[in-house]
Structure 1
Amino acid sequence: MNSTRLVRCVTFVSVKRYFRLVNNKRFSNLLSVWISCLINLRQLVLLISNFYLDYFITELFPFVMNSFRLLKLHPIKTQFREYALKSDLKIKWVRPEKIPCFKPEKSGDLETFPEIDKKLYQEDFKNCKELKTANELVKKLFTLEFAPRNETVRHYINRTSDKVRRHVNDYGSHEATIAAWTGVIRAMQESMERLPRNKIMKVQLKELIDRRKKFLKYLRRWDYKRFEWLLETLNLKYVPMPLDVHWITRKDSLTKLTDKYCDDIRKDKLEKLKLQLQSEQPAFLEEKIRILEFIRNEQKSCNVEVTVHQDEIDNVKRRLDDLKEKVKQLNQEEI
C-alpha cells in the first residue's frame, strides 16, 4: 500500500467517525452547550475590554500624561544617563589651555634664546690673527651677520658651556653636557615659535628635554650641591615627573569651583556675624557690668558669701574702655 492510499483511508475513517458523533444526540447537545458558552464568553470579553478602554481614555490617560509632565519626562523619549555635573549656580568653567611639553613653562627654562651681537666673529675665526690686519669688509664677512643661523646657535652653546666647564677641555661632564643641551633646546624653542608645524623638530626637542631631565635627575641624586649650582647658573628649574597624573575634567573642576563658592559664602556670613557681634559687644559688656554689680550688692545685703569680686568687675570695665577706644580709632581712620 502506497502513502497516498494510506492518507486517503485515514481521512475517510476520521470523517466517518465525526459524522457518527454528530448523529449522536448526547454529543450534539453537549456541543451546542459549549458553543453557546464560548459565544457568551466572547461577548463578556468584548464588554470588559470596551469598558476599560473607555475608562483609560477618559480617566487614566490624562492622569498618566499629567504625571509625565510633572516629572519632566517624555513617554516616548528614552532617558539617558547624564554623566556631567550640571550646577544651578552661576559658575563658569573654561577648560585651561593645554601647554605643550616643549614650551619653556613645561621644560623648566626660565629664559629664552637671547639676542646675540651680530658683530662678533664666527667660532672658527674668532682667534684668527689675519683678521686683525684685514680690511673692514673682509672682517664683516666673517661675522655672525653673514653666517648661517647654526653659527649663532653654536656661539651661544659655547658661551653657555663656558660658565659650567670644569676646565678648558671639558666637553663630557654632566654639567657641560647639560649646558650644551640647554643652548640647543632654547634655540629650538625659538624656532618652534616661528615654525610650529615642524613635526621633526618638535620630536627632537621633546627627546632632548627628556634627556636633559634624566641627566639632571642623576646629578640631583649624587651631587645635590652641584645640581643646585647648575640650576642657578643656567637659570633652570627642575620639574620632576608627577607621581600621580590627575586629568583635568569638567566634573571635577566644577565640583572644586562649587566648593570654593560655598566656602566664600560661608566666610562672608561668618565675617558679617563677626562684625555684628563686635558691634553688640559694648552693650553686652555694659549689661554684664550691671548684672555683676547687682549680684555683688545683693549678696552683701543678704549677708551671703560674696562670689563676685571687684577685680572681675574692674576687668570687664577695662575691656569695655579698650573696646571703645579701638572703635574710636577705627572711625577716625575711616574718616
Structure 2
Amino acid sequence: MNSIVNCCKLLAAKASNVHAFGGYLSRGMARTIDDYKIKWVRPVKLPSIDPRQSGDLGLNVSVKPTDMKVLYDKSKELQDADEIVKRMFTLEFQPRRETKNLERERVIALVKRHICDRASAEVKIAAMTTEIQYLQKHIDEQRRNTKLRVFLKELIDKRKKFLKFLRRWDYKRFEWILERLNLIYVPQPKIAGKVSRKDALRRLTKDYCDGIIQQKLNIFRAQLKEQQKIFFAQKVKNLEYILAEEKKYGLHPTVSEEEIDIARKKAEEILKETV
C-alpha cells in the first residue's frame, strides 16, 4: 500500500513540475536528445580566404584607367610631353600589376606615419590588405589554382598576426587602422577544432539545463522575497507590541525604537523591490 502511495506522489510531483516550468521534463523522464526542446543546425562552413571570413569589406580608394603609373606623375619630362606620350604611361596601356601597385601606394598613404614610412606595422598591414583583396578577386577567375589559394591563406594569417600584435600593444591605433582600411577583426575561435554535432549538442544541452536551473532559482528567490515581506511586516508589529507592553507594566525595555525603525525600513525596501 505504501509503495502505491509513493508512486502516486512521485507522478504527481513530476506532473506539477511539468506544469510549473512551462512543459519542461523533470529528471528521469527524458531519454534522448529529442525529448528536450533543442535544435541544432550545422553552421555554414566558409573558406578562410572568403572576404566574410577574413573581414575585408573593401578598400576606400579609387584607381582610374586615366591615372599615371606609380612615380611617373611627378616626372617633369612628362609634364611637357605630348598628350599621346602621356597616355602611353597611363594605367590603360600598362600591365595589371601597375594598377595594383598604384592602389597599394594609395592605401599605404592612408595609414603611413610620415612620407618615408615603409616599415611600420600599419604600412605592412595596408600592403597585405591590398594584396589580399586583389587575390580574392583574382581567385574567382582561377578557382583551381591551389598554389594561389595557399598563398592567400598564408597572407591572411600573417596579417592577422600583425593585427593581433597591434591590438595588444596599441588598441587605439588598432581601432583606427580597422576604420581606415574598412576591416573587421576576426579572432581565432575560443574552442579550436572542427564543428561536430556531438560537442555542439553537449554545449546546447548544458545551456538548456542551466536555463532550467536558473528559472527555478528565480522562482525560489521570488518566493523568499514574499516570505521576507510578510516576516518583516509581522516583526514590526511584534516589536511594537512588546515595547508597548513593557512600557505599560513598567518593565525594563528589551526592544528599542531603533530596532523597530530598522525592521520597518527593511520591510519598505523589500516592498519596493517586489513592486
Q: What TM-score bracket applies, with the shorter chain setting the length?
A: 0.5 to 0.7
The yes-or-no answer on 1:130 pairing with 2:78 is yes
* CA contact 1:296–1:308 (8 Å) conserved in 2: yes
Q: Which amino acid in the other structure matches residue 159 of structure 1?
A: R
Distance in 2 of aligned mates of 1:104 and 1:322:
55
Does residue 33 of structure 2 align to residue 90 of structure 1? no
Match of 1:264 among 211, 220, 228: 211
Counterpart code for 1:205: L
1:271: Cα distance to partner?
Answer: 3.0
Residues 321-332 of structure 1 aligned to structure 2 (within 5 Å): 321=268
Matched letter for residue 99 of structure 1: L
Determine the C-alpha separation between the residues in 2 that align with 1:243 and 1:256.
Answer: 14
Structure 1 residues 193 and 287, CA gap change in structure 2 (3 angstroms): farther
1:117 aligns with 2:70: no
- CA deviations 1:137-192 (Å, max 9, x no partner) are 87666544565543321111122334437654x66x46455543332112112334
User: Relative to structure 1, is the Cα distance of residues 237 and 312 closer, same or farther in structure 2, using a 3 angstrom cutoff?
Assistant: same
5 Å-filtered alignment, 1:227-238, equals 229=173, 232-233=176-177, 235=181
Q: Distance in 2 between matches of 1:90 and 1:265?
A: 12
Q: Aligned pair 1:99/2:99, yes or no?
A: no
Asked if residue 159 in structure 1 is aligned to residue 89 in structure 2, the reply is no
Give the root-mean-square deviation of aligned CA atoms: 4.3
1:160 is matched by which residue type in structure 2? V
**After the TM superposition, which residues 11-50 of structure 1 pair with which residues of structure 2 at under 5 Å, given as runs?**
none
Matches within 5 A, 1:175-194: 175=121, 176-192=123-139
Give the share of equivalent positions with the same residue, in percent.
Answer: 33
- With the length of structure 1 as denominator, give the TM-score of the two structures: 0.53
* Deviation string, structure 1 residues 47-78 (Cα, Å, up to 9, x no partner): xxxxxxxxxxxxxxxxxxxxxxxxxxxxxxxx
If you compute each CA radius of gyration, which structure gives the higher value, 1 or 2?
A: 1
1:209-228 alignment to 2 at 5 Å?
209-212=156-159, 216=162, 224=169
Cα offset for 1:238?
7.4
Separation in 2, partners of 1:208, 1:315: 68
State the distance in 2 between where 1:124 and 1:255 align. 60
Closer, same or farther in 2 for the Cα pair 1:278/1:123, shift >3 Å? same
Per-residue deviation at 1:131? 5.5
TM-score (norm 2): 0.62
Shift of 1:206: 1.9
Structure 1 residue 239: Cα displacement: 7.1
Correspondence 1:66-85 to 2 at 5 A: none
How far did 1:133 drift? 6.1
Does the alignment pair 1:293 with 2:240?
yes
Q: CA deviation at 1:260?
A: 1.2
Q: Please, which runs of 5 or more residues in structure 2 have no aligned partner?
A: 1-31
Compute the displacement of 1:257 (Å). 1.1
Unaligned runs of 5+ in 1: 1-84, 331-335
